[in-house]
Structure formats: C-alpha cells, structure tokens
Amino acid sequence: AQKITQTQPGMFVQEKEAVTLDCTYDTSDQSYGLFWYKQPSSGEMIFLIYQGSYDEQNATEGRYSLNFQKARKSANLVISASQLGDSAMYFCAMREGRENYGGSQGNLIFGKGTKLSVKP
C-alpha cells in the first residue's frame, strides 16, 4: 500500500492566487515527520517545509504553509501569492520515527508528485 498519496498529477493556478497541493499519508508510528520538496525542471530537489507529528501548530515558511490534519492523516501544502517561478513538481515525503539505528526507520518515502503550473 502506498504510504504517501498525492492525488493531483497536475494543477494550474493563476499568478498571485493561492493554491493547495494535497498529500495524505499512512503510518502506524506515533513519531514521524512530513516534508515538502520542490523540483524545478533542472532536477534539483529543494526542501520547502517540515512538519513534525508532535507539532501542534501548522508549519509556515514564507509563502509556504502546511495544513496538518493529524486525525485525517493529511499534510497539504499551501502556496500563497503564486509566482511564475513556482511552476515545478512538488513532492510530499514522510520519515517515520527513528529512535534507533537499524531497520528501515529514517528513510524518506516520497509520493508521486504534483506538477504545478502557474499561469500569467
């Protein structure tokens, strides 16, 4: 079963408007972290924002915010005031709790991504 699900293969948004990119996750761990990365056409992966499972407040980083709904296991990325440079692939990722070395804990598991296109 997929651990990270991004249901929107592609999204369009008008420049200067806000957009929400969906992400749901599946884990039985109590401790985990959720990440969003941006991948422009150049291929590099750019870290955007992080939310810990014990964080009570939604994470924010500039124009990026994470709408974290723990009971629904959802971690949607909200981009405010979209810019043309925001056009890229966006990936949601999860790292499950890792108090100890060994095993598969600690690996970043990625969703399939959402391609965002910002229209002028």
Partner 1 sequence: DGGITQSPKYLFRKEGQNVTLSCEQNLNHDAMYWYRQDPGQGLRLIYYSQIVNDFQKGDIAEGYSVSREKKESFPLTVTSAQKNPTAFYLCASSIWTGNTEAFFGQGTRLTVV
45 touches partner 1 (CB under 8 A): yes
Report the alpha-carbon distance of residue 33 to residue 49 in Å, rounded. Answer: 11
CA distances from 95 to 36, 45, 70, 78, 84 (A): 11, 16, 15, 20, 30
Positions 65 through 104 that interact with partner 1 (CB under 8 A): 91, 95, 98, 101-102, 104
Token reading at 59: 């994470």
> Which residue number, 52 or 62, has a Cβ lying nearer to partner 1?
52
Positions 5 through 34 that interact with partner 1 (CB under 8 A): 9, 31-33
Report the alpha-carbon distance of residue 60 to residue 99 in Å, rounded. Answer: 26
Find the Cα–Cα–Cα–Cα dihedral 6, 10, 43, 37, rounded to 10°.
-40
> Which residue number, 9 or 120, has a Cβ lying nearer to partner 1?
9
110 touches partner 1 (CB under 8 A): yes
120 touches partner 1 (CB under 8 A): no
Binding site for partner 1 (CB under 8 A): 9, 31-33, 35, 37, 42-45, 47, 50, 52, 91, 95, 98, 101-102, 104, 106-113
